[in-house]
Amino acid sequence: MVNSLQAQLLKSGLVDEKKLKQAQRAKKKAAKQEPDNAKSTAAAIEKARAEKAERDRQLNQQKREEAERKEREAQAKQLIDQHKLDRAGGEVAYQFVSKKKIKRIYVTQEQFDKLSRAKLGIVRVSGQFELIPLEIVDKLAERVPHWPVVVAEIEEVSEDDPYAAFKVPDDLMW
């Protein structure tokens, strides 16, 4: 003869029939709520999948942007390598500002004249300063705007400037 725990507790007088029926109802109620829990678990799983898919999309987007940036930088380096001017034999020092510091490169007299008239630009690639034509400067600005390119600034003289008659010579060394 099999006696359940409930029957044994009822026989011993520890539990009355009212409490026994109440426990059975609570057990049935919990059993009915399990499908709801399964639904909420399925919803949680679906939500986790959606979040993972969104993270994967964002990660793929970042990887794509990084690859595009590297490609643009490679194109810029190739442009510079193809169009850079040779500074060999340069004896004239040209000074310019790069990262809030005054830098000096040696160029030929012709290159110095073009630099001071804003016909050439200076760009830093792999730790070296290179001279490039102004057309290439524009192409670099399109591809890699975060690369600093130095081009001399030509100031326009206003009519009411008291020092307009005193022009600074182009060949002034500072």
More confident residue, 155 or 128: 128
Token pair 């070296």 is found at: 128
Helix (H, G, I), strand (E, B) or coil at 161: coil
Q: Which 3 state secondary structure label does DSSP give 163? A: coil
**pTM of this prediction?**
0.55
State mean pLDDT over 129-147.
Answer: 83
Q: What is the DSSP letter of 85?
A: B
What is the pLDDT, as a whole number, of residue 53?
92
Average pLDDT over residues 7-30: 82
Q: Amino acid letter at 73?
A: E
Q: What is the pLDDT of residue 20?
A: 79
Residues paired with 131 in a beta bridge:
85, 122
Residues 63-109: pLDDT tens digits? Answer: 999 999 999 888 888 888 888 888 888 888 888 888 888 888 898 88
pLDDT score, position 169: 67
What's the one-letter identity of residue 140?
A: L
79-101 burial, b at 16+ Cβ within 10 Å, e below that, comes to bbeebbbebeebebebeeeeeee
CB atoms within 10 A of CB 78: 10
- Give the tokens for residue 35: 């499908």
pLDDT tens-digit map of 32-71: 776 656 667 888 888 899 999 999 999 999 999 999 999 9
Other beta carbons within 10 Å of 139: 16
Confidence band (pLDDT; 50, 70, 90) for 166?
A: confident
